[in-house]
């Protein structure tokens, strides 16, 4: 376990005055302070240089909100162990910081803010600078800040006032340290204490370090409990008995143990195996949760070797995997254990659930995509936000020659240049500061044998475009920092909501790459122009909701289906999906009726604009309904610019965010 001692940490946050640092920042922006003889700490100076090299805008006023409510919910599920083990610390901080004009927040390993608590007045100020759940705090997004800089340096970090690289955060003081998995020391999150500069306190460094150590101790206890459950399941069920050589991993692919004298046999298949070293196998294709931490690709594993171990308690969730290696002279093709059921052979999550989208009887574009899916040609999807590009891409994947291969998606607009480069191509250990121990497989390599879906490809930086073009031409990649080429073969599906031809003309997108990815262009029209697709799409979404959340799959009455088809759906498939999720959870009926629709969809007029006008002039309208309609109108009038919408409404932006969450308004 990574554990810091308070005595080992330099608690001097700043040996220079704020005025001296501010002057140093001004000069840095002018000439870069190349000789370094200026009044700023070396750790801050190095951070500024990283920010400048990655193109961070120093005039940024707020951190970007990089996760929608849906994505944030999914990220919290992925980090449920971290949040569960941090809960006692969060509760303690909620009481301790309540009147100290300070807040505490927890991020995931990629600096995505998961939860924030503390002084209510400070929380409102924090929202104004993007310090909210869903905000992104990597240095490449938000400049020098305690969270992002702690990740870069792998050390507890305090960034005070004007030491921040971006103007919007200079009124703040923040202190953070990373939280590590006690199993192998990989970063799984960051804990931060922040407040306005007047709250600066050197004691915050030992405070966050102490809290991080508590969380890590809780994680260690949780691991022990999980592994004990795994061992109990093995001993309680004769199906897991084996006389051969095996390797035991938990549900996250972490190595637990093996049987005696198995090392030589295992090394035949896994040359890097060491029974004394912690490692993780990439086992999400066998039913484990997808884990972003550094893992060893397990494409050398055969399906018939992998035996999921289920808890003997009620519910029978998968608690680990027993990998049974064939002995010398065995073919390794023994029949797999019946405990798999159909799980091991199912297609990637979501692929079959969106098959109706590619029904050639419904749409010419679907027919074109269905035909192109069988070819090696790249496919370019064009469509507005929410029109279902990811749904369509998964449906294309299910029609390819390798539907059981991986489906790997990446949003090119969510990362800085350097981060996107690493995400796409991966990196070797030591390739740069903060590179993962053991290196990292990139999205391109992870998609080998399957489909790579690149959303917002129009946002791919120009510097990366020729590198990606080379991959498409030569079918091989080089990880960042590596000199060895790695062969790759994947189906490319790209998507964008911008005019790529215009981007080419303006020099923002390479012409050769455009022609390479646009062999087949599929235009996804708004859902209001694809009425015939709605019935089958509704059934698909309901199946996905049932599988994702392990709930009963609801059925749709004829009356409700007619109502859904008649609606205009300005939010496209995303809005339709939100409505179906609401009804799936909020209705006790197996057969959903029109009366189960959310209240705002129960108005008699099919035209949403006329409905809103009708409601606003209806003397029986409630204050809450009027407030909701006013917020929706302001968001629409400002093209979803929430800063301008808040000004138009005359309320603080933090208040607007709270109202949006309260009324579940789509942005």
In whole angstroms, what is the distance from residue 246 CA to residue 256 CA? 11
Backbone angles phi, psi at 17, to 5 degrees: -75, 160
Tell which wins on pLDDT, 573 or 72: 72
* Mean pLDDT of the chain, nearest integer: 80
Which pLDDT score is estimated for 63?
94
pLDDT of residue 344: 24
Q: Helix or strand or coil: residue 630?
A: helix
Q: Is the pLDDT of residue 291 over 90?
A: no
Q: Are 58 and 165 in contact (CB under 8 A)?
A: yes
Buried b (16+ CB within 10 A) or exposed e, 266-291: beebbeebeeeeebbbbbbbbbbeeb
Residue 289: per-residue pLDDT: 76
Number of Cβ within 10 Å of residue 439's Cβ equals 19
Contact 386/572 with Cβ under 8 angstroms?
Answer: yes
Pick the CATH number of 527-593 from 3.90.1150.10, 1.10.8.60, 3.40.309.10, 1.10.490.10: 1.10.8.60
- Position 467 scores a pLDDT of 92
The secondary structure of 399-464 as a DSSP string is: HSS-TTS-EEEEEGGGS-HHHHHHHHHEE-TTSSTTPPTT-EE-HHHHTTTSEEEEETGGGS-TTT
Question: In the predicted model, what is the mean pLDDT of residues 140-165?
Answer: 94
Rounded Cα gap, residues 72 and 113, in angstroms: 9
Bridge partners, residue 107, by sequence: 113, 190
The per-residue pLDDT for range 162-211, each reduced to its tens digit, is: 999 999 999 999 999 999 999 888 999 999 999 998 888 888 899 999 99
Higher-pLDDT residue of 634, 154: 154
Q: Where are the domains of the chain?
A: 6-208, 237-345, 352-525, 527-593, 602-667
pLDDT for position 358 = 57
29 vs 49: CA distance, rounded Å: 10
Q: What is the dihedral of CA 512, 516, 519, 522, to 10 degrees?
A: -90
- Best mean pLDDT range from 397-401, 467-471, 652-656: 467-471
What is the mean pLDDT of the segment spanning 308-320?
79
Residue 610's pLDDT band (boundaries 50, 70, 90)?
very low
For residue 242, what pLDDT is reported?
65
The larger pLDDT score, comparing residue 240 to residue 599, is at 599
> DSSP strand E in 512-579: where?
520-524, 555-556
Lowest mean pLDDT among 91-95, 410-414, 635-639: 635-639
pLDDT per position as a tens digit, 74-89: 899 989 999 999 999 9
How confident is the model over 369-386, as pLDDT tens digits? 888 999 999 999 998 877
The predicted model scores a pTM of 0.50
- Report pLDDT digits (tens) over 96-113: 888 888 999 999 999 999
What DSSP designation does 291 have? -
**Res. 356 pLDDT band, cuts 50 70 90:** very low
Q: Can you give the pLDDT at residue 549? A: 76
At 353, the pLDDT band (50, 70, 90 cuts) reads very low
Q: Which structure tokens are listed for 138?
A: 């990597």
* Number of neighbours of residue 563 by Cβ within 10 angstroms: 17
DSSP-based three-state secondary structure for 112: strand
pLDDT tens for 415-443 read 778 788 888 988 887 666 555 666 788 89
Superfamily of domain 602-667 in the CATH hierarchy: Homeodomain-like (1.10.10.60)
More confident residue, 244 or 226: 226
Record: fold of 352-525 = Rossmann fold (3.40.50)
Residue 213: what pLDDT?
A: 92
466 confidence band (pLDDT: 50, 70, 90): very high
Q: Are residues 495 and 456 in contact, defined by beta-carbon separation less than 8 angstroms?
A: yes
CATH number, domain 6-208: 3.30.450.40
> What average pLDDT does range 221-235 have in this prediction?
84
Specify the residue for token string 């303690």. 92
Which class for 357: exposed (0-12), middle (13-18), buried (19 or more C-beta within 10 A)?
buried
Pair of tokens at residue 645:
């919408």
Helices (H) and strands (E) in the chain, counts: 23, 20
- Of 32-36, 99-103, 135-139, where does mean pLDDT reach its minimum? 32-36
- Residue 575: the pLDDT is 85
8 A C-beta contact, residue 106 and residue 114: yes
Rounded Cα–Cα distance for residues 567 and 601 (Å): 9
Amino acid 23: pLDDT = 84
CA distances from 56 to 142, 173, 190, 225 (A): 7, 20, 21, 43
- H-assigned helices in 175-294: 204-236, 263-269
């Amino acid at each position: 376990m990574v554990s810091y001692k308070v005595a080992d940490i330099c608690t001097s946050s700043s040996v220079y005055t704020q005025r001296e640092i501010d002057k140093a920042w001004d000069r840095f922006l002018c000439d870069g302070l190349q000789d370094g003889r200026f009044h700023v700490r070396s750790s801050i100076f190095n951070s500024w240089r990283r920010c400048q090299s990655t193109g961070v805008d120093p005039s940024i006023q707020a951190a970007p909100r990089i996760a929608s409510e849906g994505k944030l919910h999914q990220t919290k599920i992925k980090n449920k162990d971290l949040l569960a083990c941090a809960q006692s610390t969060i509760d303690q901080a909620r009481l301790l910081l309540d009147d100290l004009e300070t807040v505490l927040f927890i991020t995931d390993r990629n600096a995505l803010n998961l939860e924030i608590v503390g002084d209510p007045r400070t929380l409102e100020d924090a929202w104004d600078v993007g310090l909210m759940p869903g905000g992104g705090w990597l240095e490449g997004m938000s400049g020098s800040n305690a969270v992002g800089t702690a990740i870069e340096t792998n050390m507890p970090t305090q960034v005070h006032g004007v030491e921040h690289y971006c103007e919007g955060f200079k009124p703040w003081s923040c202190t953070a340290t990373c939280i590590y998995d006690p199993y192998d020391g990989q970063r799984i999150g960051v804990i931060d204490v922040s407040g306005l500069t007047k709250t600066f306190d050197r004691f915050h460094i030992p405070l966050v370090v102490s809290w991080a150590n508590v969380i890590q101790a809780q994680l260690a206890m949780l691991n022990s409990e999980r592994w004990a459950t795994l061992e109990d399941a093995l001993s309680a069920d004769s199906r897991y008995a084996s006389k051969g050589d095996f390797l035991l991993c938990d549900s996250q692919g972490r190595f637990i143990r093996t049987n005696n004298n198995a090392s030589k046999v295992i090394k035949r298949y896994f040359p890097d195996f060491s029974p004394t070293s912690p490692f993780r196998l990439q086992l999400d294709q066998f039913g484990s949760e997808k884990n972003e931490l550094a893992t060893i690709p397990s494409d050398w594993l055969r399906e018939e070797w992998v035996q999921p171990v289920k808890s003997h308690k009620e519910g029978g969730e998968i608690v680990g995997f027993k990998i049974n290696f064939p002995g010398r002279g065995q073919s390794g093709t023994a029949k797999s254990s019946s405990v798999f059921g159909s799980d091991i052979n199912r297609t990637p999550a979501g692929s079959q659930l969106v098959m109706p989208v590619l029904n050639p009887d419904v749409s010419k574009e679907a027919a074109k995509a269905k035909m192109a899916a069988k070819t090696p040609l790249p496919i370019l999807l064009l469509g507005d936000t929410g029109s279902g590009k990811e749904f369509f891409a998964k449906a294309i994947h299910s029609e390819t020659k390798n539907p059981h291969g991986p489906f790997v998606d990446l949003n090119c607009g969510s990362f800085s240049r350097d981060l996107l480069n690493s995400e796409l191509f991966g990196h070797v250990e030591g390739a740069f500061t903060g590179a993962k121990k053991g290196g990292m497989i990139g999205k391109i390599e992870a998609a080998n044998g399957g489909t790579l879906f690149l959303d917002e490809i129009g946002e791919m930086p120009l510097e990366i475009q020729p590198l990606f073009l080379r991959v498409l031409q030569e079918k091989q990649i080089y990880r960042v920092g590596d000199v060895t080429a790695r062969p790759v073969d994947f189906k490319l599906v790209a998507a964008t909501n911008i005019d790529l031809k215009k981007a080419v003309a303006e020099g923002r997108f390479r012409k050769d790459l455009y022609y390479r990815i646009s062999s087949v262009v599929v235009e996804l029209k708004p859902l209001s122009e694809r009425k015939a697709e709605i019935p089958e799409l509704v059934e698909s979404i309901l199946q996905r909701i049932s599988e994702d959340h392990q709930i009963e799959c609801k059925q749709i009455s004829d009356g409700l289906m007619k109502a859904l088809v008649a609606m205009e759906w300005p939010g496209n498939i995303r809005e339709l999906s939100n409505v179906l999720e609401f009804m799936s959870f909020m209705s006790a009926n197996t057969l959903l009726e029109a009366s189960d629709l959310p209240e705002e969809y129960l108005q008699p007029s099919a035209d949403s604009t006329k409905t809103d006008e009708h409601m606003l002039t209806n003397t029986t309208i409630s204050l809450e309904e009027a407030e909701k309609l006013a917020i929706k109108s302001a968001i629409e009038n400002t093209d979803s610019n929430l800063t301008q919408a808040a000004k138009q409404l005359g309320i603080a932006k933090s208040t607007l965010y709270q109202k949006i969450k309260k009324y579940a308004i789509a942005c």
